[in-house]
Amino acid sequence: MVNMSLTWPVERKKDFTRIVVYIAIATALIFVIDIYTPLGIVIWIFYLIPLFLTVYLSWKYAPLVMTGVFILLMAASLFLSPRDIPIEYALLNRVFFAFILIISSIFIEEYISNVEGLALSEERYRYLTECSPDGITVYQEGKIAYVNPAGMRFLGAERRENLIGRDIIDMIDPEQKVLVRERVAQAALGARMVMDKVRLIGQDGTQMTVGVSLASVFWNKGKAVQLVMRK
């Protein structure tokens, strides 16, 4: 089955092309319908649909560029559509909607910039943690979402895949599980804390006592808890 879902940011060329095609088809269809309907029917309001599709493009200026295109098409349809109302009223309507398009495109551009910033921050975070001597894990929705090489050693795993998706609480000494789970829940709410002498039971059976720092982080578009383990 072909995957037709849209994800952000677009990384593959074929996905970028597919979304551009969607925008082009929607824009052309709206323009054709607009020029065959009377001026008093606000078909051009549907330009908001391809405008919001630009969210899925990795180019943050796409909303502003497409807004310019839509305004030009609205100006053209002003003279091509059948007149059922005075052209002055039709012009006023289109000018008002042009302002709505401009405001919407500015909000979309800001949203794309914010998401790009978060993605870049996460990429930098991954790079720094990969080189860290401390064991670092990201705990999200009750399972490990990320672990760095040092964390793999702390947890006695040879491969990252052996830890991803597992509950890190299962690798805590049974006597400390309840306490650690409570601290993780508190960290998820924004608290920062340090736990001393946490006893880990690795996948290979080795045991290690470490200090653990817990803090809330943003990971894969959602909240998570970062655990930093130090000997």
Picking from 130, 22, 36, 45, the residue whose alpha carbon sits closest to that of residue 84 is 36
Are 27 and 66 members of one domain?
Answer: yes
Are 156 and 201 members of one domain?
Answer: yes
Residue 4 falls within a domain, yes or no? no
Q: List per-residue pLDDT tens for the chain, 231 residues long.
A: 334 344 444 444 567 888 899 999 999 999 999 999 998 888 989 999 999 998 888 777 899 999 999 999 999 999 999 988 998 999 999 999 999 999 999 998 888 777 777 666 767 777 777 888 899 999 998 899 999 999 999 999 888 888 999 999 999 999 999 999 999 999 999 889 899 999 999 888 888 999 999 999 888 778 899 999 998
Residue 9: per-residue pLDDT: 47
Dihedrals phi, psi of 224, to nearest 5 degrees: -150, 175
Picking from 72, 71, 66, the residue whose alpha carbon sits closest to that of residue 105 is 66
Residue 204 class from Cβ within 10 Å (0-12 exposed, 13-18 middle, 19+ buried)? exposed
Are 27 and 90 members of one domain?
Answer: yes
Number of separate domains in the chain: 2
Are 75 and 107 members of one domain?
Answer: yes
**Where in the sequence is the domain holding 213, given as residue range(s)?**
133-230
What the block records as the tokens of 1 is 């089955």
Are 118 and 139 members of one domain?
Answer: no
Residue 14: per-residue pLDDT: 64
pTM: 0.55
CATH number for the domain harbouring residue 192: 3.30.450.20
Query: Which domain-ending residue is among 126, 153, 168?
Result: 126
Return d(Cα 6, Cα 116) in angstroms, integer. Answer: 16
Q: Find residue 198's DSSP bridge partners.
A: 210
Residue 3: per-residue pLDDT: 41
Q: Is 47 helix (H, G, I), strand (E, B) or coil?
A: helix
Residue 90 falls within a domain, yes or no? yes
Are 22 and 89 members of one domain?
Answer: yes
What the block records as the tokens of 95 is 């000018």
Return d(Cα 229, Cα 62) in angstroms, integer. Answer: 43
Residue 13: per-residue pLDDT: 56
Are 142 and 181 members of one domain?
Answer: yes
Q: For residue 90, what are the contacts with CB-CB under 8 A and spacing of at least 6?
A: 39, 40, 78, 81, 83
CB 229 within 8 A of CB 151: yes
Residue 69: per-residue pLDDT: 95
CB 156 within 8 A of CB 205: yes
Residue 205 falls within a domain, yes or no? yes
Are 154 and 93 members of one domain?
Answer: no
Are 81 and 29 members of one domain?
Answer: yes
Query: Which domain-ending residue is among 81, 107, 126?
Result: 126
Residue 2 falls within a domain, yes or no? no
Are 116 and 89 members of one domain?
Answer: yes
Check residue 231 and report its DSSP letter.
Answer: -
Q: Verify cis geometry, omega within 30 degrees of 0, for the bond prior to 149.
A: no
Residue 213 falls within a domain, yes or no? yes
Are 83 and 18 members of one domain?
Answer: yes
